[in-house]
Structure 1
Amino acid sequence: MARDGDINQPTREFPGYPTTDTLKARSDDAPEPPAPTSGGGPVHRLLLVLGAAALTVVVLLGVQATGILPEFRNPFAKEQTDRSQPALLKSIQDLSRYVAAEGNFQVVVDLQNDRRNVPDWLLNQRTLFVGAGSVEAYVDFAKISEGAIVESADGKSVEITLPAPQLAKTNLDLEKSYVFAEERGLLNRIGDLVEGDPNRQQQVYQLAEERITAAARDSGLTQRAEENTRKMLEGLLRSLGYERVTVTYTAP
């Protein structure tokens, strides 16, 4: 039971409502929050730089697609400069050749140049070259002599004497020819660095042409040219009314 003196006293068990002065005092006494750091750590800065770079590339590509900026080019792109001089006409030769056959050949040249009693790793040059070329067989109508064409009295037959077919110069096709393998000694490589040899492959080319020419002689290409020329003249002269056409060849 409460005492009489405590009846009119406020209870201490219920807290009073905070007033404005009380809130201001509390806010003045509270510690200030730490200020945010500017820039963040190194990882954060790196991410910002990468993001800015990616954004720049995207913007530039978009602008380039619209045609406002020129196309970007590789500054280290390969370039080719042609400083060749114009072709000079040396001569013109009139030809009266009838090309009656052509042979296409391929030869493998294995050429080695070395020195006796010198190891190959020191001084050696071996080239394995695959050469492709063609040879034409023709009849030179300009060499037909007077009296080579004889017509019969009744005009139904004709005899023609032609020069023997010849082989033209071998035409080496450099687009189809290539060096398959090459071995060079140490001194050979040093010599190329010091003075160089722009005609180093010339010997291989000449040897390939010689081998192809020899193969053309043994291939029966001239005999094929004789047959084709004979068939051509027979068909041509029979269309002109001759019933019999005889074609012979002089000795080469």
Structure 2
Amino acid sequence: MTAPVKRLPARLPGWAKVLGAVVLLFAVLFAGIRLSVLPGLKDVFGTETRDRSGPALLESVRDISRYDAASGSFQVVVDLEKDTKFLPDAVRGSRTLYVGAGTVDAYVDLGSLDGDDVRVDEDRTSATLRLPHARLGTPALDPGRSYAVSKQRGLLDRLGDLFSDNPNSEQAVQQLAVRHIGDAAKESGLTARAESNTTEMLEGLLRSLGFERVRVTYGD
């Protein structure tokens, strides 16, 4: 009796072709990601970075009449965690550890002075100045010294990152770092240092112009 001959399937079903293409696509993407993050491995695709930005445009110009008398450098570690109700962190949630470094300037506004704020005696040997109290400028985050230490995201968040390009992914931790740096500057005594430096600068300047007695006060 002759053994039956096995026949090979003529064609794969349509859904099998689609599934195979999707698996191949994810394999290529995963391999590209692993090659880009593993140290010591070159980019096999030969990626090049080109700056195609246009020239910067001047939007406005304003005069500055303030004296920047002191500057403080600050660093803060931001630990930002986002949770979702009824879902574990492994499924939906994120936690970012971010080191933010920036500076805050303290200044005295000299543009609001009038005749009553500057008094000089008749023989021009004594001068009295009344200045506004020093203020803090806007905290400036230094991108060269700020960086994300770690990012933990749930499965749904990681899948969302694959299909979306969010340029503001670190905006929340950056804003939080700026706020903490501003709060630290308020408690650092930076404005008192600015007033002391301003007084020293004005006393030296006026004495070089021939004034023997110089008095600088601060108030509203």
TM-score, normalised to structure 2's length?
A: 0.77
Say whether 1:208 aligns with 2:177: yes
| Cα separation, partners in 2 of 1:118 and 1:105, compared to 1, 3 Å | same
Say whether 1:180 aligns with 2:149: yes
3-state SS in 1 of match to 2:203: helix
Q: Deviations over 1:140-194 (max 9, x none)?
A: 1111123211012332211001111111111100000000111000000111112
Which residue does 1:191 correspond to in 2?
160
Alignment partner of 2:50 out of 81, 84, 90: 81
3-state SS in 2 of match to 1:210: helix
Runs (5+) with no aligned partner, structure 1 = 1-73
Say whether 1:218 aligns with 2:202: no
CA distance in 1, matches of 2:83, 2:173: 15
Quote how far apart the aligned CAs of 1:76 are: 5.0
Which residue does 1:135 correspond to in 2?
104
3-state SS in 1 of match to 2:205: helix
**Which structure has the higher relative contact order (CA within 8 Å, separation 6+)?**
2
Alignment partner of 2:64 out of 95, 100, 107: 95
| Larger-Rg structure | 1
CA distance in 2, matches of 1:151, 1:197: 60
- One-letter amino acid matched to 2:130: T
Cα root mean square deviation, aligned: 1.6
- One-letter amino acid matched to 1:205: Q
Which residue does 1:240 correspond to in 2?
209
3-state SS in 1 of match to 2:116: coil
3-state SS in 2 of match to 1:105: strand
| Cα separation, partners in 2 of 1:117 and 1:76, compared to 1, 3 Å | closer
Say whether 1:124 aligns with 2:93: yes
Runs ≥4 in structure 1, deviation > 6 angstroms? none
| Cα separation, partners in 2 of 1:75 and 1:210, compared to 1, 3 Å | closer
Q: Deviations over 1:34-75 (max 9, x none)?
A: xxxxxxxxxxxxxxxxxxxxxxxxxxxxxxxxxxxxxxxx99
Map of 1:30-179 to 2, 5 A cutoff?
Answer: 77-179=46-148
Q: Deviations over 1:103-150 (max 9, x none)?
A: 000000000111122101000111000000000001111111232110
| Cα separation, partners in 2 of 1:186 and 1:75, compared to 1, 3 Å | closer
CA distance in 1, matches of 2:77, 2:48: 34
How many residue pairs get matched? 178
CA distance in 2, matches of 1:94, 1:150: 25
3-state SS in 2 of match to 1:143: coil
CA distance in 1, matches of 2:44, 2:145: 34
Identity %: 51
3-state SS in 2 of match to 1:147: helix
